[in-house]
Amino acid sequence: MTNPKGRFGIHGGQYIPETLMNAVLELEEAYNHYKKDPEFNRELTELLNEYAGRPSRLYYAEKMTKDLGGAKIYLKREDLNHTGAHKINNVLGQALLAKKMGKTRLIAETGAGQHGVATATAAALMGMECVVFMGEEDTIRQALNVYRMRLLGAEVIPVKTGTATLKDAVSEAMREWTSRIADTHYCLGSVMGPHPFPTIVRDFQAVISKEIKEQILQKEGRLPDAVIACVGGGSNAIGSFYHFIEDPVVRLIGCEAAGRGIDTFETAATINTGRVGIFHGMKSYFCQDQYGQIAPVYSISAGLDYPGVGPEHAYLHDIGRAEYVPVTDDEAVNAFEYLARTEGIIPAIESAHAVAHAMKIAPAMDPDKIMVITISGRGDKDCAAIARYRGEDLHE
């Protein structure tokens, strides 16, 4: 769905400093070459299967289905991947591509730390240097992931500017890339930033919906009625949606982090509360004030705490192909606890936003309807923060 200039409707584009233009053009050229290269694809498939543990399971959540008393619920278990989230799908693809391009160093931004951990992992595996930028606020919220990255040999740089969260980590990674391009690939973690990143990351994450489609056809003999995923930048959601976009019978639902509610300023629900703007290399929806200053956003989830959304989601929203709904901190925490108790699965707090929305709509759906929820990551990293949210004095 990408046109040659990297546009999704009016969204997307390449709004970056001239210093980076040849780097993204070189990346685009390399990607267009290697995506058709059988050897590249063979190596990537082997990494995904043998190293990351794909395909991930499509699990029938029978207890949850019975408890909610509506649609039949399947969970796409991206939490079972190596490193505990969907992020590894994209990182293995980009790291392999970077290596083919002769790069020896990966830099990345991270919010919750999952993308940073995945990048540090791929760098360790492929013998590359790795530097991860993480908002200082997030290094505190996700201290365990900071340690994991260091354990894997990466350098973690806490970013103190702005709101010291994901958006500032992206800005700092972009600044770092402008200062060192020759040996460095910016391994962007979501379907955002300048073209070709939204396309590359989507293609590497599309394995999720490719598998869902095969698995559900095998199990149920038909397509699901709804696919639900959480949306920050939107990589697990676009990965979950992609192979269903041309199947209009499948409802595609993205769950945005509403924080304390979309009627408050403490929210990160970009499509629900933002306006079209230009930032971090792309035209898309952004939370911003009337003068275009990017708004400080808030969510309990460090991974969804971002003021923008990928341009393809902005487009799917504009044409009405996907719905984007807000889910509050409270609802997500309830769903986090619910899935743990009901299915024995502790989801990432990001993924819990998708579970929360499913809990709202499943009971009203007929039992012959089928819904797939992508569990984008596992929730071990969030346990301490959720305990504190519930008033327990637990620190890592």
**Residues near other proteins (CB under 8 A):** 5, 13-23, 161-162, 167-168, 171, 174-175, 178-181, 275-281, 286, 288, 290-294
Nearest approach in angstroms of CB 289 to other proteins is: 8
Q: Which is nearer to other proteins, 280 or 313 (CB)?
A: 280
- For the question of residue 235 being annotated catalytic, the response is no
Residue 137 annotated to the active site: no
Give the whole-angstrom CA distance, residue 123 versus residue 106: 7
Helix H or strand E segment including 61: none
CA 152 – CA 212 distance, rounded (Å):
31
Contact 113, 302 (CB under 8 A): yes
Of 56, 284, 351, 376, which one is the catalytic site residue? Answer: 376
Helix axes 329-343, 349-361, angle to 10 degrees: 90
Q: SS3 letters for 20-47?
A: HHHHHHHHHHHHHHHCCCHHHHHHHHHH
| E strand or H helix at 280 | none
Whichever of 197 and 286 has its CB closer to other proteins, that residue is 286
394 vs 325: CA distance, rounded Å? 31
SS3 of residue 68 by DSSP: helix
219 an active-site residue?
Answer: no
Consecutive H or E run containing 58? strand 58-60
Of 297 and 362, nearer to other proteins (C-beta) is 297
Nearest distance, CB of residue 228 and other proteins, angstroms = 31
CA terminus-to-terminus distance, the chain: 44
- 283 CB neighbour count, 10 Å cutoff: 20
User: Judged by CB, which is closer to other proteins: 234, or 281?
Assistant: 281
CB of 46 to other proteins, least distance (A): 34
Q: By C-beta, is 41 or 178 nearer to other proteins?
A: 178
Q: How far apart are alpha carbons 115 and 85 in whole angstroms?
A: 8
Q: How far is the CB of 135 from other proteins (least distance, A)?
A: 13
Classify each residue of 79-113 as buried b or exposed e, where b means 16 or more C-beta atoms within 10 Å of its C-beta. bbbbbbbbbbbbbbbbbbbbbbeebeebbbbbbbb
Nearest approach, Cβ of 209 to other proteins (angstroms)? Answer: 30
Q: Which residue among the candidates 56, 76, 78, 87 is catalytic per the annotation?
A: 87
For residue 136, give every residue at least 6 positions away whose Cβ sits within 8 Å of its Cβ, in sequence order, or none.
158, 159, 160, 164
Asked whether the beta carbons of 353 and 299 are under 8 A apart, the reply is no
Instruction: Specify whether the backbone of 127 is left (phi greater than 0), alpha (psi in -120 to 50) or beta.
Output: left
Minimum CB–partner distance for residue 5 and other proteins (Å): 7
**Residue written as token pair 């819990």:** 352
Tell me the catalytic residues.
87, 109, 376
